[in-house]
């Protein structure tokens, strides 16, 4: 590559760094995968999923787990804001007694751009800047966490990495069954699978959106736009490819 650039007469070229992404799972119930799981505890699957997507795009994930404690969250966010190029928090995105992420970020001086948007799943997602670095707040539920990441955080990270089209690949597909769970006041996203054959591929939405095992089998994402409550079987729709 360097030789080709030299042949073309280039001595200086613009480059983009590979971002280091801090991924913070918050919650007293979280346990690092591989360690014993006590009653009432959960393995921190969200941060593993997000880290996998970062690895897929050649980013460098730095994962950590922190309990629902103000000082602990404060110290982790403060340290990682110096050590990473971007941060993603998982859990603690609402405003309950144990949801302290936005509060701590405000104390650290972040500049909030938005918090809570009209998408489902993933309504509690937030975004802002801390020390001139992007910070994405994701909800803790697996469907909301992953959809918030795919629709908001991933495009931002891809833009930071220098991608000129920072989004998932899109194609047209035919809807294999009616979608009728849309809400008029937000955009409703659905995981699903694609079946390819002659002509347009067919998208089949998954009905059990809360199950991690179902989400893991998804190969695409479709949506019902805000203002609509259903899409008819056979409709040609735009889908995002996951695999």
Q: pLDDT tens for residues 91-109?
A: 988 766 567 999 999 999 9
As its CATH architecture, domain 20-160 has 3-Layer(aba) Sandwich (3.40)
Q: What is the C-alpha to C-alpha distance for residues 125 and 173, in angstroms, rounded to an integer?
A: 28
Q: pLDDT tens for residues 5-54?
A: 777 777 787 777 889 999 999 999 999 999 999 999 999 999 999 999 99
**Closest by CA position to 134, among listed 59, 208, 200:** 59
Which 3 state secondary structure label does DSSP give 12? coil
**Contact between 116 and 94 (Cβ < 8 Å):** no
Assigned token pair, 98: 């144990």
**Locus of tokens 């059990």:** 208
**Contact between 203 and 194 (Cβ < 8 Å):** yes
Instruction: Look at the domain 170-241 and name its fold.
Output: Beta-clip (2.40.340)
* 181-184-189 Cα angle (round to 5): 50
**Contact between 66 and 90 (Cβ < 8 Å):** no
The reported pTM is 0.91
Please give the average per-residue pLDDT across 126-154, as a whole number. 96
Rg of the chain (C-alpha set)? 20
All structural domains of the chain with their residue ranges: 20-160, 170-241
Q: Is the pLDDT of residue 213 over 80?
A: no
């Amino acid at each position: 590559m360097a030789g080709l650039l030299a042949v073309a007469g280039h001595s200086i070229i613009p480059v983009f760094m590979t971002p280091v992404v801090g991924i913070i799972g918050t919650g007293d119930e979280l346990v690092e995968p591989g360690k014993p799981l006590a009653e009432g505890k959960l393995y921190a699957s969200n941060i593993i999923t997000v880290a996998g997507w970062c690895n897929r795009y050649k980013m460098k994930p730095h994962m950590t787990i922190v309990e629902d404690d103000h000082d602990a969250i404060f110290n982790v966010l403060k340290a990682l804001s110096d050590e990473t190029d971007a941060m993603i928090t998982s859990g603690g995105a609402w405003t309950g007694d144990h949801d302290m992420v936005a509060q701590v970020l405000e104390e650290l001086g972040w500049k909030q751009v938005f918090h809570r948007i009209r998408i489902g799943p993933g309504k509690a997602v937030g975004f802002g800047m801390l020390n001139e670095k992007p910070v994405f707040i994701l909800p803790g539920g697996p469907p909301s966490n992953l959809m918030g990441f795919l629709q908001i955080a991933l495009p931002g990270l891809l833009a930071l990495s220098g991608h000129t089209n920072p989004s998932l690949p899109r194609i047209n597909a035919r809807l294999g069954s009616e979608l009728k769970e849309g809400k008029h006041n937000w955009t409703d996203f659905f995981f699903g699978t694609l079946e390819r054959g002659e002509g347009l591929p067919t998208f089949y939405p998954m009905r059990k959106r809360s199950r991690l095992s179902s989400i893991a089998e998804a190969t695409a994402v479709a949506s019902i736009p805000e203002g609509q409550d259903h899409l008819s079987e056979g409709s040609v729709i735009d889908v995002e490819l996951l695999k």
